[in-house]
């Protein structure tokens, strides 16, 4: 299963990916987690990315594509993946299409978690208090939501035009949302395989 989870920051992509990965038998690939690991390790790329991330901006497409391209060559990604946080703009969606076409492994599904902004803002406030992520402070969250609306929302349209997008209500109990995502994946598989 090659799945992209779309949704605004704080929409629950990471949480849902964690719930789904064992069942689907594929790794959860979060570009945000990979970047945070690079920052924590103090690599040159991490140092470059940190200020951009703390400001709630997007790290450069080149860095992301290099990082993701390398990650997809790992053995565990041969069975597929759940991609969380990528693609975040149309250039990245295009780059992903090309990358996957080259290895003859197109996406199976794209699921967008739909969560209203006011719910996102309150979730990020809770996460800010619990985890202390600089980019979860309320001002930066507003900036990230604006970037999402401007740059990432068109990615959903990109997949909708290709008949790949499924939108799932991301508000509710964790297990309820997981069940909705699973249902969407089953519907998709039934539509593709009959």
Task: Collect contacts of 58-61 with beta carbons under 8 A, ≥24 apart.
Answer: 58/88, 58/89, 58/147, 58/151, 59/35, 61/89, 61/91, 61/92, 61/95
Candidates 54-62, 69-77, 118-126, 186-194 — which segment interacts with ligand AMP by CB under 6 A? Answer: 54-62
Residue 136 makes contact with ligand AMP by CB under 6 A = no
Nearer to ligand AMP, 84 or 181 (CB): 84
**91-120 binders of ligand AMP (CB under 6 A):** 92
Residue 64 makes contact with ligand AMP by CB under 6 A = yes
CB of 45 to ligand AMP, least distance (A): 12
Candidates 27-35, 75-83, 114-122, 176-184 — which segment interacts with ligand AMP by CB under 6 A? Answer: 27-35
What is the β-pairing status of strands 81-84 and 165-169? unpaired
Nearer to ligand AMP, 19 or 53 (CB): 53
Angle between helices 61-71 and 31-41 (to 10 degrees): 100
Segment (H or E) for 82: strand 81-84
Residue 27 makes contact with ligand AMP by CB under 6 A = no
Rounded Cα gap, residues 152 and 95, in angstroms? 14
On whether the CB atoms of residues 25 and 76 are closer than 8 A, the answer is no
Candidates 40-48, 50-58, 102-110, 172-180 — which segment interacts with ligand AMP by CB under 6 A? Answer: 50-58
Residue nearest to ligand AMP (CB): 32
CB of 187 to ligand AMP, least distance (A): 26
């Amino acid at each position: 299963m090659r799945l992209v989870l779309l949704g605004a920051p704080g929409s629950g992509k990471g949480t849902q990916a964690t719930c789904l990965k064992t069942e689907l038998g594929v790794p959860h690939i979060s570009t945000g987690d990979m970047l945070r690991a690079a920052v924590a390790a103090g690599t040159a790329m991490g140092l470059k990315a940190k200020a951009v991330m703390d400001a709630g901006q997007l790290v450069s497409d080149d860095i992301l594509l290099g990082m993701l391209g390398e990650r997809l060559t790992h053995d565990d990604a041969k069975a597929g993946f759940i991609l969380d946080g990528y693609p975040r703009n149309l250039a990245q969606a295009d780059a992903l299409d090309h990358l996957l076409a080259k290895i003859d492994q197109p996406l199976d599904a794209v699921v967008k978690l739909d969560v209203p902004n006011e719910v996102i803002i309150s979730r990020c406030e809770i996460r800010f208090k619990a985890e202390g992520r600089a980019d979860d402070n309320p001002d930066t969250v507003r900036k990230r939501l604006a970037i999402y609306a401007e740059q990432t929302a068109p990615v959903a349209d990109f997949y909708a035009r290709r008949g790949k997008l499924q939108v799932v209500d991301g508000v509710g109990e964790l297990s309820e949302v997981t069940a909705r995502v699973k249902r969407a994946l089953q519907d998709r598989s039934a539509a593709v395989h009959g």
